[in-house]
């Protein structure tokens, strides 16, 4: 019997794979047997090195997702089976001071680029009659409002909604669309929170696990959603949050 958790022979594209959650997912996919394409504005040389150390295969692909349409041509000349939409940015300010530029910058990367990149992926998969898996990186702020991050919260609510909509349209066509919602993870995006002692302690006090998560904590969930073991999972938003939302 074939291993339902193996990704041997599959090709995956991970956006924003140079650091943090994207890097951890790229490494996890490679460990499961996938060939990994690390797409982003910055080279993912460190990620590639870690994958090579593990005996896996990966390559860099330069794409700047601040252009929401930059992903439209990524799938035209290569058969990619898995898309991980991880690239994202965050801007912080009080709602009454928030600028249009900060709103547009976040929405362009976190939501508009995600949709049009996924659209291009699906067109390629459907054209060749293949099977595909999409995993979007959502957030606890797909369910909650947050503080001082209006465009980020709006974009992540949108990611959860798009995940369900695309699953509804593509499930019967052989494309699984799901999302992972990370809790408070030690990444660049949460550095400001971790450096604020009062805010960090308030967060820790609510996490049943008692600690911030690591990027590697997200990798297993994302990889699982790409495997045959998750073949009947469609439109799920899987919380990986140390129990935050259960509190």
Q: What residues does each domain of the chain span?
A: 11-246
User: Taking residues 144-160, what's their average pLDDT?
Assistant: 97
Q: Is 178 helix (H, G, I), strand (E, B) or coil?
A: strand
Q: What is the pLDDT of residue 241?
A: 98
Q: What is the pLDDT of residue 207?
A: 97
User: Taking residues 77-106, what's their average pLDDT?
Assistant: 97
pTM of the predicted structure, to 2 decimals = 0.96
Q: What is the pLDDT of residue 1?
A: 53
User: Taking residues 66-70, what's their average pLDDT?
Assistant: 98
* Contact status, residue 145 vs residue 153, Cβ threshold 8 Å: yes
Q: Is 137 helix (H, G, I), strand (E, B) or coil?
A: strand
Q: What is the pLDDT of residue 190?
A: 85
Q: What is the pLDDT of residue 134?
A: 99
Q: What is the pLDDT of residue 191?
A: 87
Q: What is the pLDDT of residue 21?
A: 97
Q: What is the DSSP letter of 138?
A: -
User: How much is the mean pLDDT over the chain?
Assistant: 96
User: Taking residues 91-113, what's their average pLDDT?
Assistant: 98
Q: CATH number of 11-246: 2.40.160.20, 1.10.645.10, 3.40.50.720, 3.40.50.410? A: 3.40.50.720
152 part of the active site:
yes
* Token pair of 241 as six digits: 């949050």
């Amino acid at each position: 019997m074939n291993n339902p958790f193996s990704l041997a022979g599959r090709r995956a594209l991970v956006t924003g794979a140079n650091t943090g959650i994207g890097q951890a997912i790229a490494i996890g996919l490679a460990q499961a047997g996938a060939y990994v394409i690390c797409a982003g504005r910055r080279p993912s040389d460190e990620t590639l090195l870690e994958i090579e150390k593990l005996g896996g295969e990966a390559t860099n692909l330069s794409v700047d997702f601040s252009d929401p349409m930059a992903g439209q041509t990524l799938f035209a000349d290569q058969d990619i089976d898995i898309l991980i939409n991880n690239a994202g940015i965050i801007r912080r300010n009080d709602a009454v001071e928030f600028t249009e530029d900060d709103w547009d910058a976040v929405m362009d990367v976190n939501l508009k680029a995600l949709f049009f990149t996924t659209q291009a992926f699906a067109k390629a998969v459907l054209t060749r009659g293949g099977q595909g898996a999409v995993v979007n990186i959502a957030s606890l702020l797909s369910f909650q409002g947050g503080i001082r991050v209006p465009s980020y919260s709006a974009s992540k609510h949108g990611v959860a909604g798009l995940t369900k909509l695309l699953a509804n349209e593509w499930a019967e066509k052989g494309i699984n669309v799901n999302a992972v919602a990370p809790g408070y993870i030690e990444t660049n995006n949460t550095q400001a929170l971790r450096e604020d002692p009062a805010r960090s302690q308030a967060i820790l006090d609510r996490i049943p696990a008692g600690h911030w998560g690591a990027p590697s904590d997200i990798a297993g969930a994302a990889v699982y959603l790409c495997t045959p073991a998750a073949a009947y999972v469609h439109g799920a938003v899987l919380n990986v949050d140390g129990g935050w939302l259960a509190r």
